[in-house]
Amino acid sequence: MGVNRQFFFATILVTVFFSHAQSDISTVGTLPEQIAETSGLIYYNGRLITHNDSGGNPELYELDPETLGITRVVQITNAENRDWEDIAQDEQFIYIGDFGNNSGSRQDLVVYKVPKSEYARAKSICVSFSLKLTAIQVAKPKIAENAGEYPLSIKIVITTSGRI
């Protein structure tokens, strides 16, 4: 089978797969106006937790997954929402990625680490630990889009849609 034919066959398989996957999507509701530009989402303790993207308040919004109503707002008192792009979690912590970098010039990338034990009982939290990333650590950051966990010894992985 030639290269062009293999590519054509692979394209058809991907198209069929994704067109079928899209058919099960339905609208649950509309996010409250207070959440103008959600940029990350986790599910924790029966609630959805999200935040606003760049320039929003340094707050986490807890949502009822059925109604999408805000059930609680937790302020991160010693953080700045310069360009929060994603949120992730492990067993003990919630991680907030302030690493948006659309222009490719930002050098002060941060991942805030919020203890779940404090999050569970507080209306405001002073983050005791944050990981500051330099351009070298993220290989000349361009546009960081999301964070996730890897099961190996790597704790946080940041992916980018920009060229490195």
The pLDDT of residue 109: 81
- Residue ranges for the chain with pLDDT beneath 70: 1-24, 128-130, 133-164
User: Is 83 inside a domain boundary?
Assistant: yes
pLDDT, tens only, 11-26: 444 454 555 555 567 7
Rounded Cα distance between 95 and 136, Å, is: 21
* DSSP three-state, residue 117: helix
d(CA 42, CA 22): 21
Q: 57-76: string of b/e by CB count within 10 Å (b at 16+)? A: ebbbbbbeeeeeeeeeebeb
- pLDDT (tens digit, 9 = 90+) per residue, 130-146? 677 654 444 444 444 55
Asked if the structure places residue 3 within a domain, the reply is: no
Predicted local confidence at residue 164, as pLDDT: 40
| DSSP H helices in 109-158 | 116-119
Q: Is residue 106 part of a domain?
A: yes
The number of domains in the chain is 1
DSSP codes joined into one string, 24-62: T--------TT-SSEEEEEEETTEEEEEE-TTS-SEEEE
Residue 98 within a domain: yes
127 domain-assigned: yes
Tally the C-alpha atoms within 13 A of residue 145's C-alpha that lie toward its C-beta. Answer: 5
Task: Using DSSP, state whether 114 is helix, strand or coil.
Answer: strand
154 with 116: CB under 8 angstroms?
no
Domain assignment present for residue 96? The answer is yes
What pLDDT does 70 receive?
Answer: 96
pLDDT at 135: 47
Which domain covers residue 32, as residue numbers?
28-160
Apex 63 CA angle, 128 and 149, nearest 5: 50
Domain with 81 in it: what CATH number? 2.120.10.30
Is residue 67 one of the residues assigned to a domain? yes
